[in-house]
Amino acid sequence: MFGRVGLFLIGVILIAIEFVLAQRPGSRPLSIAAWVIGALLGTHILFNLFLWYNHAAFPLNLDLMEGTVLQHARQAATFQPIYPEPSAAYVPLAYNTLYYLATAPLVNLPGNDMIALRIFSIAGMAGSALLVFLLVRHHTQSAVWSLVAIGLFAAAYRTMDAYLDTAHSDSWFLFTALLGTYLLVLDRGRRWNLAAIVILVASFWFKQHGALFTVGGVVALTWREGLRRSWPYWMVAALLGPGLYLLGPMVLGPRFHFFTLEVPRAWSELSLRGLLRYSSFAIFNYGVLAILGGWFSLHALVRHPPAPDVLAVQFCAALFTGLLGTLDPGSSDNVYIPMGTFFIISGTIGLQRLTQQYTVVSRYRLHLLALFASLALLLYNPLNVITSTRAATSYADLVTTLKSLDGPAYLPSVGQLAYDYETYPAAHWVALEDMVRGPGKVVADHPLVRTILLPSLEPGGPAYILANYPLETYEVTAFLNDYYVLKTDFGDRFKPLRVLPKRWDHGWPRFLYRYDPLAAQAMQR
């Protein structure tokens, strides 16, 4: 908090000094504030490039679910159902399937599969940054303002929950949503518009919330071209979206609809607490950019009918993606990635428009003040997202420790390792909890979870659990504590393998439990 306030105060002081010096007759002082902003934005861009290198080869999970995502890609690569009945070895996640299908060829390449998935995600993040640049340049005709937008996008890395360069679908969900929007903004003709709708539908297949951007794109085209000319867009969206979705179980697995529709639908809960989370996130992380983006979008929609700015329509879609994510109280802040990106794009354009239209903005350096405020809100400790140089050594130590055990090991906070050791069971606690949680539902000691984890309850010999937190921490797996006793607390031994900071702190492998036959017999009586 002090760092954020301090950065903003530095900006205020620099701008005040420039303003005073500018009042002298004939003076044209160098804008130190602008150069400082440029340096900060450039540093964020370079730091993101460093993070791509630093994160790609991390041996364990950067994000809590990476190991399980890799399992999905391996299912697709071996032509097995991605959404089968849940089992101890594999429980599907509640996400759509395109990321797994797109990365399936990569897991057959030589080397670490996880690195390939992360590089694929990094490509999506880089493409998203490029589209941020192109969208801002299209509206501002300024390379400078476009670079400002990329710098802000890079600065928001931690605010976007450090998800975009991990083995997860978020970067490609964002990329396809932005690419489809950009093609519609260009308005190069019906073929290009149809291609844009196909790409927007792809965003839905990366992540369900992409349906909102698809609807936004079709609505914008209908508004722009009229209902009679827009029917092909509706038809393509319907066939490639809900049409293919209905056929999903035939190709993707019998439980496709259960995991991608029924499971996430059960999480939704409209509450005042959720709405406060939604609004406070926008205000305390994006603030000025959110206001400017809203002003630009509202102005574009109200003042320029009958041909609306597609970007303004998609800004509204992005707001709804954030709201839908908020309906799940257990969601991470990655649900706000599209909303934050559109805040940055539309907010940068709005700031440029204000600077052009009102001389008072440039005279009093209010645009520079807005950028200092935005960078201050996005400020974070960079050391928290740099992985340890001892990670590879620590992972080797972890694998050696697991192999030295005289029975199988279950890592509920890891799921399955990428290489060198096979855990069993491999059902991640998040995937288990996702199936049974929701408003009014009892998560603790759930019969379905007990059935899936039966190999841990009746292992037939020595068995172990290596957990990031004590077993009783998570309700969904707390019943395991009745069958296992704590053998070793490794403390900070494996801390170099810590998950990147998110909304929740998921720690590192630490607490080793051993199956206790006496406790198990007592539970069976």
487 in helix, strand or coil?
strand
Q: Is there a contact between 310 and 188 (Cβ–Cβ < 8 Å)?
A: no
Residue with tokens 């050594």: 393
Alpha carbons within 13 angstroms on the beta-carbon side of residue 139 total 27
Report which of 362, 366, 226, 339 is spatially closest to residue 285, judged by C-alpha positions. Answer: 339
Residue with tokens 């007592």: 522
C-alpha angle 6/9/12, rounded to 5°?
155
Return the structure tokens found at 176: 């396809």
Using the 8-state DSSP alphabet, how is residue 208 labeled? T
> In 10 A of CB 367, how many CB atoms?
21
245 in helix, strand or coil?
helix
Q: Could you give the CA distance from residue 372 to residue 391 in angstroms, rounded to a whole number? A: 35
In sequence order, what are the residues at sequence separation of 6 or more whose Cβ sits closer than 8 angstroms to the Cβ of residue 166?
A: 55, 62, 63, 66, 118, 121, 500
Report which of 348, 341, 282, 285 is spatially closest to residue 317, judged by C-alpha positions. Answer: 341
pLDDT recorded at residue 30: 61
Q: Could you give the CA distance from residue 317 to residue 200 in angstroms, rounded to a whole number? A: 12
492, with CB counted inside 10 A (0-12, 13-18, 19+), is: exposed
pLDDT averaged per 10 residues in sequence order, the chain, 525 residues:
82 83 62 91 98 96 94 95 97 96 88 90 98 97 97 98 96 98 95 97 98 97 90 96 96 96 93 94 96 94 77 97 94 96 98 92 90 96 96 97 96 93 96 94 93 94 96 93 95 96 91 87 64
pLDDT recorded at residue 28: 59
468 in helix, strand or coil?
coil
| β-bridge partners, 60 | none
515 in helix, strand or coil?
strand
326 in helix, strand or coil?
helix
pLDDT tens sequence across 89-105: 999 999 999 999 999 99
Q: Could you give the CA distance from residue 442 to residue 153 in angstroms, rounded to a whole number? A: 40
pLDDT recorded at residue 521: 66
Q: Is there a contact between 288 and 374 (Cβ–Cβ < 8 Å)?
A: yes
Helix (H) or strand (E) holding 229: none
pLDDT recorded at residue 15: 84
> In 10 A of CB 422, how many CB atoms?
12
Q: Could you give the CA distance from residue 55 to residue 382 in angstroms, rounded to a whole number? A: 13
Phi and psi (nearest 5°) for 160?
-85, 20
pLDDT recorded at residue 304: 63
C-alpha angle 98/104/106, rounded to 5°?
125
pLDDT recorded at residue 8: 87
Report which of 35, 17, 30, 22 is spatially closest to residue 372, judged by C-alpha positions. Answer: 35
Residue with tokens 């004939």: 26
| β-bridge partners, 490 | none
